[in-house]
Amino acid sequence: MSLVDLALLPFRIARSVAEAVVPVGQRPPTPPAELIVVDGMPEGVPPAARRPEPTLPVPAGWPFGEEFPRTCGAARLAGGALFWTDFIYDDYGATGLPVGDLKIQAPPRGTYVYPDGPAAGNGADIFRVAIGLTETHTRWRVDWNTLQDATVPVALFTFDTDRSRSASADWPAGAGVRS
């Protein structure tokens, strides 16, 4: 640093502080454009967003209605049941060690994936789950988004029935899962 630079340093610092405190030549924000609505939806949505919602199949004997939330990853209580909607086409689970070479614009977040075999490539992804309670029974429902082979998926639920914070335990039915 030269003597001239050293002499000008306080002025340069003062100018930087002044510009930070009092912005020079700030323009007013651009007013928002007029909202254009087509068939009740904002302009530019895909055509599928303007079509009527399709009727999904209902399991025979399911007495609790179809109160599933339309928001992915959300749940609600209605009519004596808990209704939960999963993230659609989310065939990647929790985040663990990175897998593969992810050179795509929107990489999956999770790294637990379906194993090779009949369920590979999102072969049985959960779409919705509901658990209903009557005076004498519970009813459990799992709707699959992708189901390549109905003999492959297993939906297993378990309950921690004590208040201890004991070490993990094996799940029932020989599931090969510990938690």
For 80-129, write each residue's pLDDT tens digit: 999 999 877 666 655 555 555 555 545 555 666 677 877 777 767 788 99
Q: 84 lies in a domain?
A: yes
Cα torsion for 12, 15, 21, 24, to the nearest 10°?
-130
Domain enclosing residue 97, as ranges: 64-144
Q: 107 lies in a domain?
A: yes
Q: 4 lies in a domain?
A: no
Q: 159 lies in a domain?
A: no
The pTM is what? 0.58
User: Residue 9 has what pLDDT?
Assistant: 79
Q: 101 lies in a domain?
A: yes
For 125-150, write each residue's pLDDT tens digit: 788 999 999 999 999 999 988 777 88
Q: 16 lies in a domain?
A: no
- Please say if the pLDDT value at position 154 is more than 80: no
Q: 75 lies in a domain?
A: yes
Q: Is the model more confident about 59 or about 116?
A: 59
Q: 37 lies in a domain?
A: no
Distance CA 131, CA 25 (A): 60
